[in-house]
Amino acid sequence: MAKRIEVKLCDILKSRGMDLKDLIDKDNGLSTRTISELASRKMKRYPKEALEKIADKLNITDMNELLLIVEDEENAQ
């Protein structure tokens, strides 16, 4: 079965009492659009630089905290 990667951004923010606005920072390039698309899981490709900036901002040291590999039942054939 095919697999896909999901960003657990909303779950992380909720557990920390934060929301998307807390991540938006024009100084480091985390735009509203980038954060919104990552959170809604609409991105097909995740920009490495954005993931690194989010991990840095949230003090995440293990990308497994941010990313999840799941079975892709939609595209399974």
3-state SS, one letter per residue, for 10-33: HHHHHHCCCCHHHCCECCCCECHH
Residue closest to 7 by CA, chosen among 57, 58, 65: 65
Whether residue 76 lies inside any domain: the answer is no
The residue behind tokens 């590999």 is 69
pLDDT at 77: 55
Number of domains present in the structure of the chain = 1
Distance CA 62, CA 52 (A): 11
What are the tens digits of pLDDT across the range 16-45? 999 888 888 777 778 888 888 888 877 788
Distance CA 72, CA 22 (A): 30
pLDDT at 60: 95
pLDDT at 62: 94
pTM of the model: 0.79
Whether residue 43 lies inside any domain: the answer is yes
Output the domain CATH number for residue 23. Answer: 1.10.260
CB 55 within 8 A of CB 63: yes
pLDDT at 23: 85
What are the tens digits of pLDDT across the range 62-72? 999 999 998 88
